[in-house]
Structure 1
């Protein structure tokens, strides 16, 4: 509990003056609320004195009541603005910090946490914090002030009648607390189900083409429906409890009025109360019902909010991949690739793996070189390039940028000089232009837009599009073919300068003519200082200074085209297969 309160204090302390102003206006709200019944009592008693007596004072009291009512509206509005507004600012800040934190995590975190669960946490749990820092703080102040000032006023008028009022309040409060405990339990279960439902929905929507290809609509529908029905059951349980609690809380004021009218009426009959005092007391009982209702909801908000904070703390307290690493000064970062990249006895095992994916690999990439990387499916090619670009972090002493060990460098520093065009292309639901410009705002030097579009072999297709570079690509680039998406991703990488450009199987989705064009403008003309090409196409690999052949995570061979024809059976086999395929195509 202490850690949760400390978590809240870290954020609310930033807006302490907002909250201080809100509490001051809340005090004024309660003071005006308990002052109005006094003038109501005087006005009602003046009515019974006759048409002529006290007319002026009666008018005076009514005007005061009207003025106080206007003041009440004003101060109550300001109290809510000053308390609710910082709650929204805290929500905004938390979402920004959560995104930054999530972006700092490595592959292991996302392997263990589905996207739907993460989205549900960001939305639901942060909303719980907002409710505590807004509605929760307002109700804490309101309950403390109202349940101290209002009972005092009532006790001052009649201790006996106050005791009559407290009994039904306690009964209602106990019933509400039991109902609230059941509702909170069901709310937690509902949040868990909602996370699972969000995860499955996103998964099935992303894999919609697979569902269609394998005709497994019924399976997907059953899985979603199962979680949907569970969500419905928990939601209905909450609705049943609400249907009991809300009427009970909503009618608490009416219950108190009946009790006061009956018991207070006897006081009037016995001459202990005037009609005006009874009216004043009924007004106080109505004021007392509101904080009791608020107390019930306050406890619910606090319980749900603290559950959300626990969930958020599991993310916020987790160390990111680079949390303990410091950014390099600009001049040191600019010199990182001066002496190239050196891989020394690199071995890598995934967090959930049982055996190493890479084993004892050594090679160097010098500035100005073009290097090839090839191997069978599952040989470790993608793992190797992810160790070079900082997405995966090998142990110290295995990858060096010049003399600096990559294990001590931030991923941000590594990726400022290493740019990767992956085989799994991702385009945002935006224009072609904005997808190419992505991330370029932090670079002072940028390439010419038309030049990178031309070098990526996308210029002709762009001119045929009705809106040119303003064309929307759709969700994940759904409006484009695989080759078009690949070339836009390549243009994105070429738009900002880098020292090492990694092309992970970017030629797989293009035809021979486009491949030849890309080889000329990206590889031969050196689109970056050095280029690492991952491919199984010999027409690409024969243009490199040397090529690395991986087999089962090991470096099986290394050399130029001629060397590899002698050293590697895999390399010579794919050359023969591609030559035979080329002959058949011509025939």
Structure 2
């Protein structure tokens, strides 16, 4: 509990003056609310006495009630603004911090947590924090002020009648509290079910093409239906409890009015109360029901919010890959790949693996060189380039950028040197131009955009699109072919200059003519100082300074095209087959 309160205080402290103002105006709201019934009582007593001499006093009381009502509208509105705005700002701040935190995690975190679960946390759990820091604090202040001033006013009128009102309120509160406990338990289960359903939905929508290809619609529907029914079951349990609690809370005011009307009516008959005093007491009993109703909801909001905070803390308290590292100064970043990138007996095992994916990999890349990597499927090619580009982190003393250990460098430093066109191309649901310029630090000249589109062999196809560079590519580039997506991704990497450009099998989805054009642009125009090309096409690899042949995570051979034909059976067989 202490850690959750500290979590809230950390974000609320920034808006302490907003909350201070909110409590001041909330106090004025409650004071105004309990003051109005006093003048109503005086007005009604004047009416019941029927004395014409008190007409001026009656007019004054009515004007005072009207003035207080206008003040009540103003201070109540201000109190809500001063509570709700910080709640929304805290929500905004939390979502930004969550995104930055999630961006700092490595592959191991995303292997253990589904996308749907993460999205559910960002939407639902942060919403719980917003409710606490906005509505929850407002209602807490409302309850404190109301339960202080209103019972005091009622007690001054009649202690006995006040006690009569307390009895049904206590009974209703106990029933509501029990119901809330049951509801919170089911809310926890509902949140888990919602995370699972979100994960399944996103997974199946992303793999919609595979589901259609294998005609497994029924299997996918059954999986979603199972999670959907589970969510429905817990939602209905919550609905049943609400269906019992809400009418009980809603009718609490009517119950109190009956109690006050019966007992207070006897007081009026006995001459202990005036009609005005009875009306004033009924007004106070109505005001008293609001905080009692709010108390049940406040407890629920805080309980649900604390559950959400626990979930958020599992993310916020987790250390990111680079949390203990600071990026190098800009000038040092510029000189990072001045001499070489060196791998020394690099061995890497995935967090969920039981044997190394790469073993004893050693070679050096120097500025200006073009290096190739080839090998069988599963040989470790993608793992190797992900270690070089900083997506995966090696053990200390195995990978160096000049004399700096990659294990101690910030990801920002490594990616200032290396840019990667990955095997799994990803395009955002945006225009072609925005996808190409994504990640650029500043808007570049139009000629640069046209130049990279030409170098990536996409000019002719772009010209055929009705909206050209403003054409929307759809979710994950669904409107484009595999080759088109690869070339847009290549254009993105060329848009911002880099020292090392890593191309992970970018020629796999293009035809022979396009391949020749791309080879010419990449190898002859030198879009980056150095190139690291992953490919199994010997027409590409024969133009490298040297090529590394991987086999089961180890270097089988290393050398030029002519040398590998003699020393590597895999390379020689591949070359003969493609020739």
Q: Normalization by structure 1: what TM-score? A: 0.98
Deviation at 1:53, TM superposition (A): 3.2
Instruction: Specify the SS of the correspondent of 1:15.
Output: helix
Kept after mapping to 2: 8 A contact 1:36/1:65: yes
Aligned: 1:278 with 2:293: no
Equivalents in 2 of 1:140, 1:369: separation in Å? 67
Post-superposition Cα deviations, 1:533-557, rounded to whole Å, max 9, x if no partner, equal 0000010000100000000000110
Cα distance in structure 2, aligned partners of 1:298 and 1:523: 66
- The CA distance in 1 between the partners of 2:254 and 2:73, in whole Å, is 23
Number of matched pairs: 579
Q: Distance in 1 between matches of 2:238 and 2:570?
A: 63
Answering whether residue 493 of structure 2 is matched by residue 493 of structure 1, we say yes
For 1:360-509, list aligned pairs within 5 A: 360-441=360-441, 448-509=448-509
- Pairing of 1:141-160 with structure 2 (within 5 A): 141-160=141-160
Where 1:557 maps in the other structure, the secondary structure is: strand
Q: How much does 1:446 deviate? A: 9.8
Q: 354-363 or 458-467: which moved more?
A: 458-467
> Is it true that 1:123 corresponds to 2:127 in the alignment?
no
Report the equivalent of 2:82: 82
The root-mean-square deviation of aligned C-alpha atoms, in Å, is 1.1
- Equivalent residue for 1:13? 13
Q: Secondary structure at the match of 1:48?
A: helix
Say if 1:445 and 1:566 are closer, same or farther in 2 by CA, change over 3 A.
farther
Query: 1:93-121: CA deviations, max 9, x gaps?
Result: 00000000000000000000000000000
Q: Distance in 2 between matches of 1:110 and 1:41?
A: 66
How big is the shift at 1:441? 2.3
- TM-score, normalised with respect to structure 2: 0.99
Residue segments in structure 2 that go unaligned for 5+ positions in a row: none
What is the CA–CA distance in structure 2 between the aligned matches of 1:386 and 1:37, rounded to whole Å? 72
Corresponding residue SS for 2:52: coil
In the alignment, what sits opposite 1:548?
548
Supply the distance in 1 between the matched residues of 2:55 and 2:474 (Cα, whole angstroms).
74
Deviation at 1:266, TM superposition (A): 1.1
Query: By how many angstroms is 1:524 displaced?
Result: 2.6
1:61-210 aligned at under 5 Å gives the runs 61-210=61-210
Cα displacement string for residues 132-159 of structure 1 (whole angstroms, at most 9, x for unaligned residues): 0000000110000100111111111111
1:34-45 to 2 correspondence within 5 Å? 34-45=34-45
- Structure 1 gaps of 5+ residues are 580-587
Structure 1 residue 447, shift from structure 2 partner: 7.4
Hey, what does 2:336 align to over in structure 1? 336
> Per the alignment, in what secondary structure is the counterpart of residue 441 of structure 1?
coil
**Offset at 1:442?**
5.1
Alignment match, 2:305: 305
Partners of 1:101 and 1:316 within 8 A in 2 = yes
Cα pair 1:447 1:497 within 8 Å, conserved = no
Task: Kindly state the Cα deviation for residue 272 of structure 1 after the two structures are TM-superposed.
Answer: 1.1
Measure, in 2, the Cα distance between the counterparts of 1:437 and 1:345.
Answer: 37
Could you say which residue in structure 2 is the equivalent of 1:582?
Answer: none
**1:264 maps to what in 2?**
264
| Structure 1 residue 196 displacement after superposition | 0.3
Q: Cα deviation per residue 1:378-399 (whole Å; 9 max; x = unaligned)? A: 0000000000000000011011
Q: Deviations over 1:67-112 (max 9, x none)?
A: 1111111110100001100100000000000000000000000000
Correspondence list, 1:556-567, <5 A? 556-567=556-567
Q: Deviations over 1:413-435 (max 9, x none)?
A: 10111000001000001110000
Contact 1:372 1:546 in 2 (8 A): yes
Quick check: 1:447–1:495 contact (8 Å CA) kept in 2? no
For 1:16 and 1:562, how far apart are their aligned partners in 2?
A: 72
Deviating more after overlay: 366-375 vs 435-444 = 435-444
Separation of aligned partners in 1, 2:292 and 2:314: 34
Distance in 2 between residues matched to 1:464 and 1:61, nearest whole Å: 78
Q: Which residue pairs with 1:325 in the alignment?
A: 325
Structure-1 separation of matches of 2:205 and 2:578: 37
Distance change in 2, residues 1:406/1:534 (3 Å): same
In 2, the alpha carbon distance for the partners of 1:560 and 1:508 equals 22
Q: Mean Cα displacement is larger for which, 521-530 or 340-349?
A: 521-530
Deviations 1:55-75 (A, max 9, x none): 111111111111111111111
1:425-460 Cα offsets, whole Å, 9 max, x none, are: 000011100000001025889971111111111111
Counterpart Cα distance in 2 of 1:364 and 1:519: 23
Q: Deviations over 1:471-504 (max 9, x none)?
A: 1111111111100000000000000010000000
User: CA–CA distance in 2 between the matches of 1:548 and 1:369?
Assistant: 13
2:29 equivalent in structure 1: 29
Contact 1:443 1:496 in 2 (8 A): no
> Could you list the per-position Cα deviations for residues 20-45 of structure 1 after superposition, in whole angstroms to 9, with x for gaps in the alignment?
11111000000000000100110111
Offset of residue 51 of structure 1:
4.9
Q: By how many angstroms is 1:527 displaced?
A: 1.2
Q: Find the counterpart in structure 1 of residue 252 from structure 2.
A: 252
Q: CA contact under 8 A between 1:447 and 1:496: conserved in structure 2?
A: no
